[in-house]
Amino acid sequence: MNIWKLPGEGRLQRTTIAVVTSVALAFSLWPPELAQANKKDELNKKLDDIQEKRGETQKSIEELKKDIDEKKKVLSELELQLQETQDELDKAEKNLEEAQETLEQYNGQFKKSVRNMYLYGDIGRMENLMSAESFNQFLTRFEIMRLMVKRDHSVVKKYYDEKARVEKERNKIKKLNDKHEKEAAKAKKVYDELVADMQKNESTLANLATEESNTKQELAELNLEHIKAGNFAYQGPLRQPVNGRMTSPYGYRGSEFHTGVDWAAPVGTPIYAAANGKVIRSQSCACGFGYYIMIDHGGGIFSLYAHMWASSVRVRAGDVVRKGQQIAGVGNNGRSTGPHLHFEVHKGRPGNYVNPTAYFGG
């Protein structure tokens, strides 16, 4: 027991407990619609942020495209240089091949000339001259020797010239190869930078697109939750509910007023929900509609689909449907002269039909 308890303290504690309990109870009874509204605001804010980031990334990509165009020019110039170097390299290799062939041709003559020069050196030639029996023979031998020496020296010179040419072409090819490798490396670096930049931005954009799609999906699911709760707004515009040929518009057909729009299509052609909504009727009718479906789209907008066969229908009253979801197939049931979909839009309440074309998106 607390002997220091102040007067009125028990009353204060009871009051505090009552207030806390009331607040807790208030939060426990927090309207789900308000919670959903907060969630929707949060998702819309997130979607705005994502779309802003997408815009910024798209702008970055546009700027990057300018850089890429510049890099492409540089790359094109580098590739031209590479081609020129390759042409020079091909020419040098051809020259080397020709020089090598010429060198091989001179090789045999060179060896023979060197052998002659070794065997018939100056002393041997002098002996040959001195053994001449007449002056005329001496002059003849001298001329022959002169020509032989000249020929041998010419062969040797040509051999060494060709050998030098081969070496020169080999050095040229080595330098061209080195140049080619450097140019190729530079071109590859520019190309890799270009590809990396594009991939980076495209990846970012793809991630943002995925995030945006997921957020829109969350919003769509949230909208469907509103529909399930029975309190929801119209989420137009409507989409055309079937792929077919319009055969009869809204309005008078002679003396009869046509309350909707007809699209001719083969039996079984998919019929889609024109917008998000809740199915309020899915039944056969002796009124001429055959089997028909009515969907409440919120905001006092209703759509009606008629002349289906029951076997093709995929929804029943109470189902929540998404825009573009298949709900049935085209039939020829009821007062119908051929397979088609009869489609109506009612405003305010079922039975108050209006021109459907005014509700379709552009």
Contact 281, 292 (CB under 8 A): yes
| CA 238, chain centre distance (Å) | 31
Q: Tell me which DSSP letter residue 357 carries.
A: G
Contact 279, 321 (CB under 8 A): yes
Contact 352, 294 (CB under 8 A): no
Residue-wise over 127-154: b if at least 16 C-beta within 10 A, else e? eeeeeeeeeeeeeebeeebeeebeebee
Tokens found for residue 86:
């390759």
**In the chain, what's the furthest Cα-to-Cα distance?**
165
Ramachandran assignment for 294, one of left (phi > 0), alpha (psi -120 to 50 degrees), beta (any other): beta
Output the pLDDT for position 4: 39
For the chain, domain boundaries? 32-231, 245-359
Q: Specify the fold of 245-359.
A: Glucose Permease (Domain IIA) (2.70.70)
Each as own residue / partner, the long-range contacts of residues 113-121 (CB below 8 Å, 24 or more positions apart, any chain) are 113/151, 113/152, 113/153, 113/155, 113/156, 114/152, 114/156, 116/148, 116/152, 117/149, 117/152, 117/156, 120/148
Q: Specify the fold of 32-231.
A: Helix Hairpins (1.10.287)
Helix (H, G, I), strand (E, B) or coil at 345: strand
Alpha helices in the chain (DSSP H): 9-28, 32-119, 122-130, 135-229
Question: Measured on CA atoms in the order 198, 200, 203, 207, is the torsion positive or negative?
Answer: negative
Tokens found for residue 162:
């060709």
Helix (H, G, I), strand (E, B) or coil at 292: strand
Per-residue pLDDT of the chain (362 residues; tens, 9 = 90+): 343 344 444 554 554 444 444 444 444 444 555 555 676 677 677 767 777 777 777 777 777 677 767 766 776 776 777 677 777 767 767 766 776 676 566 555 555 544 554 444 454 555 554 565 665 655 565 555 555 555 555 555 665 666 677 677 778 777 777 777 787 787 778 777 777 776 776 677 677 777 767 666 666 665 666 676 666 788 889 999 999 999 999 999 889 999 999 999 999 999 999 999 999 999 999 899 999 999 999 999 999 999 999 999 999 998 989 899 999 999 999 999 899 999 999 999 999 999 999 999 85
